[in-house]
């Protein structure tokens, strides 16, 4: 488990040197194997805007660039990177800057004004390797468009950070998240911590997808939520990409990145389905003879006893607690998504990934046990992040408008509520009017609404209505991203 110290400091107050903090964690039972600076030691590197690029008169592989580095004058810098282009923002080492030592040396590399093949160069445009960030030397490190010209690269990319590599024992699944480590760290160093609960996101559409738990001893709770009107051109924010990379993950797609980020933050694995590729209700059940599924890693899995599946009307779409399926994966054309957050019992997941000769972060956590009460909170957090990313992409600058009285309560409780059937569970809420569940035919004074549809409800009709031209198409440029109330199913058995 890799832990960003900078991220951890946002959750718990750490007023001691990193070496002392790492020693305290180790003595407290969280062994720190390694401490690694995020970037090499360098100074004098700023954000520069490439204004023009011209061929070098005496060298085919070199370019002569003019850059604005915030110094008040245009600098001429000779560059050999093949990806340099006008309009880019890149790291620029000014004259007098100090870079990490080159391979095989120990002294810092200092930048001086020089002539390269007869052309004067007043600085150096840098790649990731030259800053000690990565081994990539194929081209310049292109910075985000909103990076301030002249700003210190260390501040812009939050490089004054150290990540700790923890060696966790199998019984410490609770520390496979930033929240879990922050709880332990606060207790070990006797410091104050702040683990923020995710506020409920008000619904702005009424879409639902029915959920059924056919194997309650394998899945204790399953939450889902429909979010519509996403912009396929949206990108994962740079701050999220940095945190994922420092935890050892790579950015894939904004929706996938959000679920991975929530998993790292709160320890709750999640999955994002392309809503348009699902058909009918979701059923948590074991695979049936003759069924097969192609996973996200392109591995084809056939039926075997005891293999838990997430299925729709056509068959398995994911392996519960292990990995999603390729047929319903999100992609560049996804505009509507169904977010999943569930609790799977460790006994139902243990050994499954090993028997399939695959590994996944989700299985690694579910095998060790996750917090039963975290599933709903994680769903709210992921919804808020998705809406925020797409608002920043230009769809809407306004938050989603508040839904009706059926919107989920902000109060999150881990108390098990009585499930009248496998598909319909009454949700408890304060000061809610009495209602009558369609499946239990019983009035509930404490229930505000049924959290899932009855077996006879047609979920496809709801989705079609929400995206019809009369109510506003999900891909209309005037429509912001919208989310529905969470759909929930909790399992009970005698």
pLDDT per residue as tens, the chain (494 positions): 999 999 999 999 999 999 999 999 999 999 999 999 999 899 999 999 999 999 999 998 899 999 999 999 999 999 999 999 999 999 999 999 999 987 777 888 999 999 999 999 999 999 999 998 888 788 999 998 989 999 999 999 999 999 999 999 999 999 999 999 999 999 999 998 888 889 999 999 988 899 999 999 999 999 999 999 999 889 999 899 999 999 999 999 999 999 999 999 999 999 999 999 999 999 999 999 999 999 999 999 999 999 999 999 999 999 999 999 999 999 999 999 999 999 999 999 999 999 999 999 999 999 999 999 999 999 999 999 999 998 876 543 333 333 332 333 333 222 222 222 222 233 333 333 333 333 333 333 322 323 333 333 333 333 323 332 333 333 333 356 777 777 766 654 43
Please give the pLDDT value at position 138: 86
Domain 211-490 CATH superfamily: Phenylalanyl-trna Synthetase, Chain B, domain 3 (3.50.40.10)
Q: What letter would DSSP give residue 290? A: T
The arrangement of secondary structure in 43-156, i.e. its CATH architecture, is Beta Barrel (2.40)
CATH 2.40.50.140 in the chain is located at 43-156
Question: Span 2-38+161-188: which CATH code?
Answer: 3.30.56.10
Please give the pLDDT value at position 491: 57
Tokens of 133: 């960030």
CB within 8 A of 115, min separation 6: which ones? 121
Please give the pLDDT value at position 174: 94
CATH 3.30.56.10 in the chain is located at 2-38+161-188
State how far the Cα of 474 lies from the Cα of 276, in Å rounded to an integer. 11
Contact predicate 484/205, CB 8 Å: yes
Please give the pLDDT value at position 13: 95
Q: Specify the pairing of strand 119-121 against strand 114-116.
A: antiparallel
Please give the pLDDT value at position 415: 29
What φ, ψ does residue 292 adopt, rounded to 5°?
Answer: -150, 160
State how far the Cα of 297 lies from the Cα of 195, in Å rounded to an integer. 34
CATH 3.50.40.10 in the chain is located at 211-490
Please give the pLDDT value at position 95: 94
Please give the pLDDT value at position 480: 63
């Amino acid at each position: 488990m890799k832990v960003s110290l900078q991220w951890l400091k946002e959750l718990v107050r750490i007023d001691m040197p990193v070496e002392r903090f790492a020693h305290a964690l180790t003595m407290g039972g969280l062994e720190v194997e390694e401490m690694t600076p995020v970037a090499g030691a360098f100074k004098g590197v700023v954000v520069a805007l490439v204004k023009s690029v011209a061929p070098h008169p005496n060298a085919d592989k070199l370019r002569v660039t003019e850059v604005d580095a915030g110094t008040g004058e245009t600098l001429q810098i000779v560059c050999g990177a093949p990806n340099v282009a006008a309009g880019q923002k890149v790291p620029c080492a000014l004259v007098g800057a100090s870079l990490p030592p080159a391979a095989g040396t120990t002294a810092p590399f200092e930048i001086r004004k020089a002539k390269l093949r007869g052309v004067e160069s007043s600085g150096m445009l840098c790649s990731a390797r030259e800053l000690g960030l990565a081994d990539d030397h194929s081209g310049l490190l292109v910075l985000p468009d909103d990076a301030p010209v002249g700003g210190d690269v260390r501040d812009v990319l939050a490089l004054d950070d150290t990540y700790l590599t923890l060696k966790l024992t199998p019984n410490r699944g609770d520390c496979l998240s930033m929240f879990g480590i922050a709880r332990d760290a606060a207790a070990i160093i006797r410091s104050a911590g702040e683990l923020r609960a995710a506020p409920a996101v008000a619904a702005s559409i009424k879409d639902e997808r029915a959920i059924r738990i056919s194997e309650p001893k394998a899945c204790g709770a399953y939450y889902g939520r429909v979010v519509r009107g996403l912009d396929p051109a949206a990108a994962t924010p740079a701050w999220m990409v940095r945190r994922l990379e420092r935890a050892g993950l790579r950015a894939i797609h904004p929706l996938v990145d959000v679920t991975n980020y929530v998993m790292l933050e709160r320890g709750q694995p999640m999955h994002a389905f392309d809503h348009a590729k699902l058909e009918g209700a979701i059923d948590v059940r074991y695979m049936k003879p003759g069924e097969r599924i192609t996973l996200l890693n392109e591995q084809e899995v056939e039926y075997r006893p005891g293999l838990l599946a997430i299925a729709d009307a056509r068959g398995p779409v994911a392996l519960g607690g292990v990995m999603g399926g390729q047929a319903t994966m999100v992609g560049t054309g996804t505009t509507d998504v169904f977010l999943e957050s569930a609790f799977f019992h460790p006994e139902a997941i243990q050994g499954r990934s090993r028997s399939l000769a695959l590994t996944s972060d989700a299985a690694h956590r579910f095998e060790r046990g996750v917090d039963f009460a975290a599933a709903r909170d994680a769903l709210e957090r992921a919804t808020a992040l998705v809406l925020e990313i797409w608002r920043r992409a230009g769809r809407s600058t306004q938050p989603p408008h508040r839904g009706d009285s059926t919107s989920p309560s902000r109060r999150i409780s881990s108390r098990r509520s009585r499930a009248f059937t496998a598909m319909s569970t009454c949700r408890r809420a304060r000061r809610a009017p009495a209602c009558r569940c369609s499946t239990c035919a019983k009035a509930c004074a404490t229930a505000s609404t049924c959290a899932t549809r009855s077996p006879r409800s047609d979920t496809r009709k709801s989705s079609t209505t929400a995206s019809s031209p009369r109510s506003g198409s999900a891909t209309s440029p005037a429509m912001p991203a919208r989310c529905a109330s969470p759909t929930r199913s909790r399992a009970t058995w005698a």
